[in-house]
Chains A and B, each alone.
Chain A
Amino acid sequence: MSQEENNLIVFKDVTKVFGPLTALDKVSFEVKNGEFVFITGPSGAGKTTILKLILGELIPDSGGVVVDGSDVAKLTEKDLPSYRQKIGTVFQDFKVLSERTVFENTAVALAVIGLPESEWDLRVQHVLKLVGLSRNSDHFPSQLSGGELQRVSLARALVVNPKIILADEPTGNLDWETSDNLMQLFEKINKEGKTIIMATHNMEIVKKYKKRIINIVGGKINK
C-alpha cells in the first residue's frame, strides 16, 4: 500500500473564514490509518474547526478535506448521516442525552446505524466493560461523575466500531487523575487500530503520551 493510500485524513490548503476571522489559513496535513494525533494550540487557534471540518459540520471555503476517500465539501445532506456513522465523536461537554440511561445513551448510536435491537445488548455490554461502566449501565447522567460521563461519550463513540475517533478537549472538564485514566483508555483503543484525532490544550497530557502533534496557532500550523 502506498503512503498516499494509507492516508485516512487529508487536509490540503484548507481555509475557513468566519466573517472577519480567519479560523484556518491554508492548512495542510495528513493523518494515517491507525495514527493517534494531538491537535494542540491556544483557545481560538482553530482546533475545533479542524474537527468540525472532519465531521462535516463545516465545509472549507477553499482547499479540500478528504476523509476515508470522501471529499467532505462534496457530501450532500443525504450523504452526511452515513458519513458521520464512520466517525465516533467525544466532546468536552460530553453531549450525553440527559433523560436516557448509560445503556440507552450507548445503544442510541446502534439504533442510528440501524442495527437490530436484538444485537444491542451484547455490543453495549462489551463496550461498557471496555470503558469501565458495566455497573453503571442503568444509571442516568445526573448520577454520574464528569469522568464517567466522558466514558459514556466514549462508549457511544466506540460501540459502532468507527474507523476514526474525534475527541474535542475530552479532558477539559476532568481532574488530572481522571484525565489520565481516560487517556489510557484512548491509548488502548488506538492500539486496537482506531485512528484518534484529539484536540487539546492540556500540555501535561500531550507530554506524557508522546504522540504526533499538529500545533495550530492563529489558524496556521506551527512547524
Chain B
Amino acid sequence: MNIHFKTAWGYIRRSPFQALAVSFVLTLTFFVATLVSTLVYSSSKLINYFETRPQVIAFLKSDAQDSDIADLQHKLEDNPHIKDVKYVSKEEALSIYKNATSDNPLLGQLVDPSIFPASLEFSVTDLSFAQNIIDQVKTENIVDSVGFTAALGGESSLNSVIQRLKTITTYVRIGGAVFVGLLAVTSLVVLLVITSMRVVGRREEVDILNLIGATKGFIRSPIVIEAFIYTIFGVVLGWAIAFIAVLYSAPTIVSYFGEIPILPKDVLGILELFGVILAIELFVGAALALSGSLLAVSRVKKVR
C-alpha cells in the first residue's frame, strides 16, 4: 500500500468520529445534489415534452384540393421553425374522435366524416415563433382556422401553460442550486475544519518531516488523500442512496406522468443519466477535497 495512503488511512482510523462527521455532511450534500440534478433533468424533459407536442392545427376548408394541401404541407416542412408536420384527413379525424369517445359508442355513430375538417398539425421548434407562424398560416387560402391543441390547468393556451411550467422549473433550479450550494459550502467548511485539526495535530510530524528533507508534496499528500477519501465516500454513498430512492419510486412516478418521459424508460437510459451525475459529482468532490485540504495546509507555512 502506498505510504501516503497508509498514513491517511491511519489518521481516519485514529479519529473515527471526525471522519464520520465530515463523511455524513458530504453524503447529505451529494444525496441532495443527486436528487436536485434528477429534478432538473425531469423538469427539462417535462418542458421539452410540452414544447415538442403537436401544438398548432391548421383546419383546412372542406373544398381544399389535395394538390394545394400537399403544397402547403411542403411549404410548412421547408420552414426551419416548424417540425413534425402531419396531414390528418377527415376519416382520420373521425377515427381519432371515435377513439376519444370509445366509452360512449353512440356519439361516434351519430357523426358523419364530412363534419370533421381535414387538418395539418405541426410543432414549432420554439414557442416564440408560434404567433408569427400562426398568423402566416391563417393567410393561406385553403386554411379555415388555426388553433392550439391542449389547454392544461385551465389555461387558455399551451403557451401560457409552458410559461407557467418554465417559471416553476426556474424556481426549482434556482432553489435547488442555492440549497446544494449552501450544502457544498457547509461541506467545504467542515472539511476545512477537520483537515485543519489534522494539520495542527500533525504539526510535530510536519516539523520532523521538514527537517529530514521532505518536500511540500510529501507532507501534503496524506492530508489531501484523506480529504479525497472523505469526498469519494460522500459522493458515492450520497449518489447511491439517491439512485436507490429514484429507482424505488420510479414506477409510481412514471405511471403518474404517463407518456411524459420525465425519467428514461429503459435501464440503459437510467444508468446513463445517473452515470453522468456521478461523474460530475466526482469531479466536484475532487475540487472540494483539493481546495479544502490545500487551504488548510497553506495555513501552516513555515518561514525561515
Task: Among B3, B213, B215, find the residue whose CB has the most chain A CB atoms closer than 10 A.
Answer: B213
What residues on A are CB-neighbors of B209 within 8 Å?
108, 112
Q: Which of A76-112 contact B (CB under 8 A)?
A: 80-87, 89, 95-97, 99, 108-109, 111-112
A67: CB under 8 A from chain B? no
B14: CB under 8 A from chain A? yes
> Does the CB pair B213–A83 fall under 8 Å?
yes
B218: CB under 8 A from chain A? yes
> Does the CB pair A99–B213 fall under 8 Å?
no
Complex Cα distance, B208 from A56, in Å, reads 14
> Does the CB pair B208–A97 fall under 8 Å?
yes
> Does the CB pair A112–B218 fall under 8 Å?
yes
> Does the CB pair A82–B304 fall under 8 Å?
no
Complex Cα distance, B208 from A89, in Å, reads 10
The smallest C-beta distance from B27 to any residue of chain A, in angstroms, reads 28
Complex Cα distance, B212 from A83, in Å, reads 10
> Does the CB pair B211–A89 fall under 8 Å?
yes
Inter-chain residue pair count (beta carbon < 8 A): 49
Complex Cα distance, B210 from A117, in Å, reads 20
B214: CB under 8 A from chain A? yes
B205: CB under 8 A from chain A? yes
> Does the CB pair B212–A89 fall under 8 Å?
yes
Per the CB 8 Å criterion, the residue count for chain B at the interface is 17
The one of A59, A99, A112, A156 in contact with B214, judged by C-beta atoms closer than 8 angstroms, is A112
A17: CB under 8 A from chain B? no
What residues on B are CB-neighbors of A10 within 8 Å?
none
Complex Cα distance, B207 from A99, in Å, reads 15
The smallest C-beta distance from A58 to any residue of chain B, in angstroms, reads 7
> Does the CB pair B218–A95 fall under 8 Å?
no
Closest 6 pairs (CB-CB, A-B) = A84-B213, A85-B213, A81-B215, A112-B214, A81-B213, A111-B3
Beyond the given A95-B207, A112-B209, could you list 13 further A-B residue pairs with CB under 8 A, ordered by the A residue number? A56-B304, A81-B216, A84-B210, A85-B213, A86-B213, A95-B208, A99-B14, A108-B3, A111-B218, A112-B212, A112-B213, A112-B218, A156-B212
Q: Which residues of B contact A (CB under 8 A)?
A: 3, 10, 14, 204-205, 207-216, 218, 304
30 contacts between A and B (CB under 8 A): A55-B211, A56-B304, A58-B304, A81-B213, A81-B214, A81-B215, A81-B216, A83-B213, A84-B210, A84-B212, A84-B213, A85-B213, A86-B213, A95-B204, A95-B207, A95-B211, A96-B208, A97-B208, A99-B10, A99-B14, A108-B3, A108-B209, A108-B212, A109-B212, A112-B212, A112-B213, A112-B214, A112-B218, A117-B3, A160-B212
